Amino acid sequence: MTGEGQTSDIGLIGLAVMGQNLALNVAEKGFKISVFNRSADKTDACVARAQKEGLGGNLAGFKEMKDFVASLERPRRVIILVKAGAPVDATIEALSEYMEEGDIIIDGGNEWYENTERRQAALKGKGIIEIGMGVSGGEEGARRGPAMMPGGDADAYKYLAPIVEKVAAQTDDGACVTYIGPGGSGNFVKMVHNGIEYGDMQLIAEAYDLLKTVGGLSNEELAAVFDEWNKSELESFLVEITASIFKKKDEYADGFLVDKVLDKTGMKVRGRGWRLLLSSDDRRRRRRRGFHPAGLVCGGGRLRRPKNVVGRPSKRISAYGFEP
């Protein structure tokens, strides 16, 4: 439906597949949601999807930012799902022109936590609150139920909780969402979450390589091994889908699809890259304060242990490690 006359519980900006799916999830849970995208064709596509899925009564699309903001209940709550960095800054700048004191912006992208804290400080002068919220589960999770990690102002989160607790994935232990803490803690936890996941994928890749190249296992045997692992304490989504990958035949040629995939990969900054940057920066900060990460005090070109640490005598450090 178009946005005329609707008062929505929450708004969402950024209607790529992830944003569309999360908007439809919100609408499906019975909340009214307004949506906006810089390019109007994606707004039209989202509205059309909502109507096709029988959710048109809960989702309204807007072509102008001013009308979008005016459609929201106070305090206004707006989720942003756009590319991290400058696009988030530009969106917040345009959005805050129409928002008022007490309104809440929720950045649901994979953002560097210090950027979130910078924006929180900048918006504070206007009385606008920002929450940085990690969202995990990909496109399918956004539609069916993601895990969410909100961080920022605790009082502001109370206005968001009733919605995200229904939209999140549900388990026997409750919804897969909890308030993480102040500042950029939500984004920080999502960064660590991504890093752990990428580490798991690296372990799976190395296990595959060893079993195939050293152990000589066929794809059928590899699938059986991973199926067995998934029945043990290693049970996980990643192990489960790895077993499925080994079973997948090439639809257009003989053989298995996994054998046709180029043995090459890259690294996204939001997982391992940010964690490496953080670790490096943390080491530099501690060295500037006079402490080495291993608990050694720097001084005079040497590393010596603090007086309260019992251990071997100090050793001179070289480019390759410690020298006697």
Q: 28, 32, 130, 190: which one is catalytic? A: 190
pLDDT band at 303 (very low <50, low <70, confident <90, very high): very low
Which range is least confidently modeled, 110-119, 166-175, 190-199, 296-305?
A: 296-305
Query: 307: which residues sit within 8 A by CB, 6+ positions away?
Result: none
Q: Are 248 and 258 in contact (CB under 8 A)?
A: yes
Chain centroid to Cα 162, Å, comes to: 21
Q: What pLDDT, on the 0 to 100 scale, is given for residue 308?
A: 41
The pLDDT > 70 percentage for the chain reads 80
Helix/strand number for the chain, H first, E second:
11, 13
- The β-bridge partners of 134 are 149
Residue 197 among the catalytic residues: yes
Q: What is the pLDDT of residues 102-144, one digit of tens each?
A: 999 999 988 899 999 999 999 999 999 999 999 999 899 999 9
Task: Say how far apart CA 127 and CA 125 lie, in whole Å.
Answer: 6
Q: Is residue 271 predicted with pLDDT exceeding 70?
A: no
pTM of the model: 0.76
Q: For 36-64, what is the mean pLDDT?
A: 96
Q: What pLDDT, on the 0 to 100 scale, is given for residue 294?
A: 38
Q: 114, 139, 165, 197: which one is catalytic? A: 197
Element (H, E) at 157: helix 154-167
Q: Is residue 314 predicted with pLDDT exceeding 90?
A: no
Task: Tell the burial category of 88 from Cβ atoms under 10 Å away from its Cβ (0-12, 13-18, 19+).
Answer: buried
Average pLDDT over the chain, rounded to an integer: 85
Residue 235 among the catalytic residues: no
Element (H, E) at 150: strand 147-151
Q: What pLDDT, on the 0 to 100 scale, is given for residue 109?
A: 87
Q: Is residue 44 predicted with pLDDT exceeding 70?
A: yes
Q: What is the pLDDT of residues 88-101, one digit of tens each?
A: 999 999 999 999 99
Q: What pLDDT, on the 0 to 100 scale, is given for residue 100?
A: 95
Beta carbons within 10 angstroms of residue 61's beta carbon: 25
Q: Is residue 319 predicted with pLDDT exceeding 60?
A: no
- The β-bridge partners of 297 are 291, 304
Q: What pLDDT, on the 0 to 100 scale, is given for residue 263?
A: 80
